[in-house]
Amino acid sequence: MPEAMSAAGPSQGANAPSGGSEVRAATSVGALILNAEALYLELLRGVRGLCGPDTRLVGITSGGAWLAERLQKDLRLAGSHGTISSALHRDDFAQRGLASGGQTKLPFAVQGAHILVLDDVLFTGRTIRAVTNELFDYGRPASVKLAVLVDRGARELPIQADFAAARVTLQPTQLLALARGFDGRFSFDVKGA
C-alpha cells in the first residue's frame, strides 16, 4: 500500500515568477488527472535552476520530504536533505494537535544557509508560514526559497512559490493528495466534491 500525503497545506500564488502549466479542474472530482511523475520532472528542472552550490533542500513532511529526498539524489547534491514539520507553529494547533507526519530533522547548520523549501501542494499559505517559523527556530538562514509540485491558489497569506511545476484550480472542498508507491514513484488523487 502506498504512503499518502493529504495536501491541503502550503500555498503559492497563480502569478508565480516561474513554473509549469495551468490546469483548471472541472467541477466533478474525476475530471482532473495529474501526472505526478511528469510534474516531478518539471519540478526537477525548476529546482535545478534555483539551486546554487551551497543550497540545502528541506522538505515539508511528508510529501515535501519525499520530494526533497528524491531531488537530493537526482541532483547528486552532497550531504543530506532536511525534513521540517509545521505542527508546532500552526495557527490551528488547538484543533489539529500534533500530526503524525514526522519531526523536524535538519542535518546541517541553518545559520547563514541558503535553504530551498519543498512541498507537494501550496494552498492557503498557512503551512509555509508555520514552517518558516520552525526554520528560524534553528537559526537565521541567508535566504529561503520555495518550490512546489502543485500550486492550487486560494491564498490566505501573502506567500508565493519561487517555482511551481503546475497551477491547478480546485473547488475549496476538494483535497489533492500525493502518494508514493513502494517503487518511489509519485501519484495524485483528487477527493471531495
Per-residue pLDDT of the chain (193 residues), as tens digits, is 444 443 333 333 333 445 665 544 333 344 567 899 999 999 999 999 999 999 999 999 989 999 999 999 999 999 999 999 988 876 665 555 555 557 999 999 999 999 999 999 999 999 999 999 999 999 999 999 999 999 999 999 999 999 999 999 888 888 898 999 999 999 998 888 6
Cα(78)–Cα(176) distance, rounded to whole angstroms?
32
**Range of 10's domain?**
3-25+33-191
Tell me: the pLDDT tens digits for 50-73? 999 999 999 999 899 999 999 999
Q: Which helix (H) or strand (E) holds 3?
A: strand 3-7
CA–CA separation, 48 vs 50, rounded Å? 6
Radius of gyration, alpha carbons of the chain: 15
SS3 per residue for 63-103: HHHHHHHHHHHHCCCCCCCEEECCHHHCCCHHHHCCCCCCC
pLDDT recorded at residue 32? 62
Residue 171: which H helix or E strand, with range? none
**How many domains does the structure of the chain reveal?**
1
Q: Distance between CA atoms of 144 and 190, rounded to whole angstroms?
A: 30
Q: Which residue, among 113, 109, 84, 85, has the nearest Cα to 97 in the 3D structure?
A: 85
| Percent of residues, the chain, with pLDDT higher than 70 | 77
Please name the residue that has the C-alpha cell 529546482: 47
The DSSP H or E segment spanning 125 is none
Can you read off the three cell numbers belonging to residue 3? 504512503
Alpha-helical runs (H) found in 105-188: 126-136
Which cell goes with 62? 511528508
Whole-prediction pTM: 0.82
CATH number at 87 reads 3.40.50.2020
Residue 191, H or E segment: strand 186-191
